[in-house]
């Protein structure tokens, strides 16, 4: 299927796909900055996937395409967290070629069904066909082929969403992604209480229920220690690092190393009064 305004050819580069259902845990990098060069640097290091945060991150919708392509040039699958449930915004993000969409704050079955359908071409859903914004480096998607559809990932991050988890799962998303910060606020717990409950806690229960429904359980972590804990609870999809966190950690390390090298005063410099 070809749109009249679509480019006549493409470079034949394969679009990287993230297979969440292979039974292994995948660890990604979370992008808060808006510069494609940041994606270049992190994608080159071999993360399983890159997620560009369009909800709380710096990138605007019109800036997403070069960031998605930066990940794809390193054969790293791309995911975008969209700012909400707006159909127009979603269409523009899907047309960039993003391989997965994370939707924030899904709280009921009707919303879940609408969002899943929006990610699927007919006859499986209601996504509109129009790949004219996509780079001609990559072939256009094939409507009707489920392998061409982006991953639909629904965030459960409120008490209401947790109460309706089974109904949300019944809509058939590819993954459920827990937002532990907002969920802890909604449940009246501290973040430390929620993430420290262990195998008998709320998060472990979510992971078990999601996996039992044949859906991949994911959670926002952003650093290795929490990622290890959440992996132990059964989660199989999480960012193990963020660009801003990596920069801050490296900066602290550099300042500390500079302090350990020796005094900053240059030997022989004249004293000032």
Q: Identify the H or E element spanning 224.
A: helix 224-232
Instruction: Report pLDDT digits (tens) over 183-236.
Output: 999 999 999 999 999 999 999 999 999 999 999 999 999 999 999 999 999 999
pLDDT category at 133 given cuts 50, 70, 90 is low
Q: Are strands 237-242 and 26-31 parallel, antiparallel or unpaired?
A: parallel
The answer to whether 184 and 157 have CB atoms below 8 angstroms apart is no
Residue 269 DSSP code: P
Predicted confidence at residue 125, as pLDDT, reads 85
Q: Find out whether 192 and 150 touch, Cβ atoms under 8 Å.
A: no
> CA 90 → CA 54, 87, 150, distances in Å?
11, 5, 12
- What does the block give as tokens for 19? 């297979």
pLDDT at 4 over 60: no
Mean pLDDT of the chain: 90
267 vs 246: CA distance, rounded Å? 34
pLDDT at 259: 82
**pLDDT tens digit sequence for 67-80:** 999 999 999 999 99
The phi and psi torsions of 233 (rounded to 5 degrees) equal: -85, -5
Question: Which residues sit opposite 102 in a β-bridge?
Answer: 81, 153
**What is the distance between the alpha carbons of residues 38 and 53, in angstroms, rounded to a whole number?**
13
| pLDDT (0 to 100) of residue 130 | 72
pLDDT tens for each residue of 40-62: 999 999 999 999 999 999 999 99
Residue 145, pLDDT score: 73
pLDDT for 1 beyond 60:
no
Query: Is the pTM for the entire model greater than 0.85?
Result: yes
Q: Which of 10, 56, 85, 124 is catalytic?
A: 56
Residue among 102, 123, 117 at smallest CA distance from 219: 102
Q: Read off the pLDDT of residues 134-170 as tens digits, 9 standing for 90 and up.
A: 556 666 677 777 777 899 999 999 999 999 999 999 9
Q: How many residues are listed for the chain in this entry?
A: 273
DSSP 54: S
What pLDDT does residue 273 have?
45
- Which residues, other chains included, contact 159 with Cβ-Cβ below 8 Å and sequence gap of 6+? 183, 186, 187
Picking from 80, 95, 151, 155, the residue whose alpha carbon sits closest to that of residue 120 is: 151
Q: Has residue 110 got a pLDDT over 90?
A: yes
Whether 56 sits among the annotated catalytic residues: the reply is yes
The fraction of the chain above a pLDDT of 70, given in percent, is 87
């Amino acid at each position: 299927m070809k749109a009249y305004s679509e480019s006549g050819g493409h470079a034949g580069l394969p679009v990287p796909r993230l297979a969440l259902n292979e039974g292994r845990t995948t660890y990604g990098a979370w992008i808060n900055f808006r510069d494609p060069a940041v994606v270049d640097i992190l994608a080159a290091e071999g993360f399983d996937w890159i997620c560009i945060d369009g909800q709380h991150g710096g990138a605007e919708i019109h800036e997403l395409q070069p960031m998605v392509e930066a990940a794809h040039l390193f054969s790293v699958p791309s995911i975008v967290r969209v700012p909400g449930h707006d159909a127009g915004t979603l269409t523009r993000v899907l047309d960039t070629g993003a391989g997965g969409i994370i939707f924030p704050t899904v709280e009921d079955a009707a919303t879940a069904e609408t969002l899943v359908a929006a990610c699927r071409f007919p006859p499986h859903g209601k996504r509109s066909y129009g790949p004219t914004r996509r780079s001609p480096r990559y072939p256009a998607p094939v409507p009707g082929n489920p392998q061409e559809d982006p991953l639909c990932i629904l965030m459960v991050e409120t008490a209401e969403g947790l109460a309706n988890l089974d109904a949300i799962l019944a809509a058939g998303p590819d993954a459920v992604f827990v937002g532990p910060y907002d969920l802890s606020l909604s449940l009246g717990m501290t973040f430390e209480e929620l993430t420290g409950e262990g195998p008998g806690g709320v998060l472990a229960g979510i992971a078990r229920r999601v996996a039992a429904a044949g859906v991949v359980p994911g959670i926002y972590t952003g650093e290795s220690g929490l990622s290890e804990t959440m992996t132990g609870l059964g989660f199989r999809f999480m960012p193990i690092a963020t660009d801003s966190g990596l920069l801050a950690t490296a900066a602290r390390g550099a300042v500390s190393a500079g302090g350990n090298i020796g005094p900053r005063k240059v030997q022989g410099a004249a004293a000032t009064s």
